[in-house]
């Protein structure tokens, strides 16, 4: 029997809404026991600092460079993750010695796959020292070194979850985070994955610009609006959807409309429609038409995105269900994936495949940071 690891996954996604934490017991292969999860939201001031981080990162050409506030921001972000781990352990009656490894995503501040450049803020060594737990971090870089897009990395976890399902019809897992990405699992278990378009990030930026709210709760604002077809077409005719080559996305690849282009409600409705239509447009490049879409990520809480997705999928002969309908947790899935990837990294198993990131051959990845001998202050 293979060894089972107890692993914590930490994800700070492109929405920049907070840290998702999940515990997983896994052999890094088929055995997956999902355990508790938790989210720690960032306060508005820290989100603003992260947004400034995206601006500061635009100048970066060396992925280790931390100009302007980026060094201090990385340290602050890492300490927040350490505190989040400590709270998570406390709430779940665990000690740091119970955890074999942490998978630490950090915060993407720049992603330029065409230049083989991806930057995630997150000091793995500091996190290991503060928690007293070995940390696997920087999991995208090795994929890029081998010609991959550096994203998405979650497909290997989607595929592992899919193996537990009785229904083996062609399925797409859709993660509607800041950016959306999909993982197709064919009837023979083959995987094809890529980023599928803007997820919530345009909606969040639009709603914040107009109301100061961080997002459109439940899609209530969009519910009062109508789809502006010209504006929707402008997004959906972007070369990203037309090209035969699939590429991963940076948060800034799509920009929100300007204030004069739409009223609040119509803008929110149009962007929710664009999110749904982008998924279907991207899915048209799959080798086989999927029979069902399994939706994860915060976007599934926006009822208008879900309504449009259901309508568009139905026209293509597919159904849409939330991850929960299959017994999964759509909010914790990314963090679970990072826990899973950390274990795979330690076992030198592949994280990415030609069908997921376009990497030349299946490769592992990640950097291990062990707690330093001298590091006393554990946040237990």
Ligand X SMILES: CC(=O)N[C@H]1[C@@H]2OC[C@@H](O2)[C@@H](O)[C@@H]1O[C@H](C)C(=O)O
Q: Could you tell me which residues are annotated as the binding site for ATP? A: 13-20
Binding partner of residue 298 among ligand ATP, ligand X, none, CB cut-off 5 to 8 Å per kind: ligand ATP
Q: Which is nearer to ligand X, 89 or 183 (CB)?
A: 183
Return the one option of ligand ATP, ligand X, none that residue 299 interacts with (CB less than 5 to 8 A, by type): ligand ATP
**C-alpha separations of 279 from 17, 304, 307, 354 in Å:** 22, 14, 13, 21
Shortest reach from residue 18's CB to ligand ATP, in Å: 8
Q: Closest separation between CB of residue 106 and ligand ATP, Å?
A: 11
Is the distance from CB of 342 to CB of 101 less than 8 angstroms? yes
- Residue number with CB closer to ligand X (252 or 303): 252
Q: Does 195 help bind ligand X (rule: CB under 6 A)?
A: yes
Smallest distance, ligand ATP to C-beta of residue 14, A: 4
Binding-site member from 12, 14, 26, 131 for ligand X (CB under 6 A): 14
Please, which residue, 37 or 78, has the CB nearer to ligand ATP? 37
| Residues forming the site for ligand ATP (CB under 6 A) | 11, 13-15, 17, 175, 177-179, 199-200, 203-204, 215-219, 297-299, 301-302, 334
Nearest Cα neighbor of 352 from 341, 343, 339 is 341
> Which phi and psi angles does 21 have, rounded to 5°?
-125, 135
Tell whether residue 179 is a contact of ligand X (CB under 6 A): yes
Distance CA(308)–CA(303), nearest Å, equals 9
Contact 354, 114 (CB under 8 A): no
Residue 199 CB, nearest approach to ligand ATP (Å): 6
Residue nearer to ligand X on the CB measure, 179 or 264: 179
123 binding ligand X? (CB under 6 A): no
Distant-in-sequence, close-in-space partners of 347: CB < 8 Å, separation ≥ 6: 28
Q: Closest separation between CB of residue 154 and ligand ATP, Å?
A: 8
Q: Dump the DSSP string for 320-353.
A: EEEGGGGT--TTTHHHHHHHHHHHHHHTT--SB-
Cβ proximity of 38 and 88 under 8 Å:
yes
Which one of ligand X, ligand ATP, none is in contact with 143 (Cβ closer than 5 to 8 A by kind)?
Answer: none
| Minimum distance from residue 377 beta carbon to ligand ATP (Å) | 29
Q: Which stretch binds ligand X (CB under 6 A): 81-89, 177-185, 205-213, 269-277?
A: 177-185
Q: How many residues are recorded in the chain?
A: 380
Task: By CB under 6 A, tell whether 153 contacts ligand X.
Answer: yes
Q: How far apart (Å, rounded) are the C-alpha atoms in residues 361 and 242?
A: 26
DSSP letters, 95-145, are -GGG--EEEEEEEEEEEEGGGTEEEEE--HHHHHHHHTS-EEE--SHHHHH
Nearer to ligand ATP, 74 or 216 (CB): 216
Q: Which residue shows structure tokens 């803007």?
A: 198
248 contributes a contact to ligand X by CB under 6 A: yes
Cα separation values, 331 from 16, 39, 149, 174, 337, Å? 14, 9, 24, 12, 11
The window from 41-49, 88-96, 127-135, 174-182 that contacts ligand X (CB under 6 A) reads 174-182
Radius of gyration of the chain (CA): 20
Q: Which does 154 bind (CB under 5 to 8 A by kind): ligand X, ligand ATP, none?
A: ligand X
Q: Tell me the CA distances in angstroms from 49 to 21, 72, 74, 222, 261, one per residue in order.
A: 21, 11, 11, 28, 28
**Count of residues in contact with ligand X, rule CB under 6 A:** 17
Q: Residue 180: which H helix or E strand, with range?
A: strand 179-185
Footprint of ligand X on this chain (CB under 6 A)?
Answer: 13-14, 108, 111, 118, 151-154, 177-179, 181, 195, 248-249, 334
């Amino acid at each position: 029997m293979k060894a089972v690891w107890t692993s914590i996954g930490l994800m700070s996604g492109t929405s920049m809404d907070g840290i998702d934490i999940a515990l997983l017991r896994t052999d890094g292969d088929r055995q997956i026991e999902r355990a508790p999860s938790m989210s720690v939201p960032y306060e508005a001031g820290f989100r603003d600092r992260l947004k400034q981080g995206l601006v500061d990162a635009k100048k970066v050409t060396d992925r280790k460079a931390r100009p302007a506030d980026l060094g201090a921001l990385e340290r602050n972000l890492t300490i927040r993750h350490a505190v989040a781990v400590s709270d998570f352990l406390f709430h779940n009656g665990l000690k740091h010695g119970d955890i074999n490894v942490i998978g630490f995503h950090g915060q993407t501040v720049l992603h330029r796959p065409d230049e083989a450049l991806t930057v995630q803020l997150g000091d793995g060594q500091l996190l290991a020292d503060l928690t007293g737990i070995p940390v696997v971090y920087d999991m995208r870089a090795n994929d890029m070194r081998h010609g991959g897009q550096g994203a998405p990395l979650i497909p290997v976890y989607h595929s592992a979850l899919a193996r537990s399902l009785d229904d083996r019809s062609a399925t797409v897992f859709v993660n509607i985070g800041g950016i959306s990405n999909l993982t197709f699992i064919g009837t023979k278990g083959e995987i094809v994955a890529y980023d599928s378009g803007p997820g919530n990030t345009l909606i969040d930026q639009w709603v914040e610009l107009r109301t100061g709210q961080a997002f459109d709760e439940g899609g209530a604002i969009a519910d009062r609006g109508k789809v502006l077809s010209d504006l929707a077409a402008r997004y959906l005719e972007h070369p990203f959807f037309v090209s035969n080559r699939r590429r991963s996305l940076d948060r800034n690849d799509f920009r929100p409309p300007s204030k004069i282009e739409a009223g609040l409600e119509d803008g929110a409705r149009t962007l929710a429609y664009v999110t749904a239509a982008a998924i279907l447009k991207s899915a048209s490049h799959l080798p086989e038409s999927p029979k069902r879409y399994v939706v994860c990520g915060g976007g599934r809480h926006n009822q208008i995105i879900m309504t449009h997705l259901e309508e568009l999928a139905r026209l293509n002969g597919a159904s849409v269900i939330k991850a929960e309908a299959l017994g999964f947790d759509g909010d914790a899935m990314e963090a679970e994936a990072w826990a899973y990837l950390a274990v795979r990294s330690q076992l030198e198993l592949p994280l990415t495949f030609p069908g997921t990131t376009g990497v030349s051959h299946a490769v592992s990845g990640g950097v291990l940071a062990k707690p330093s001998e001298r590091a006393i202050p554990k946040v237990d």
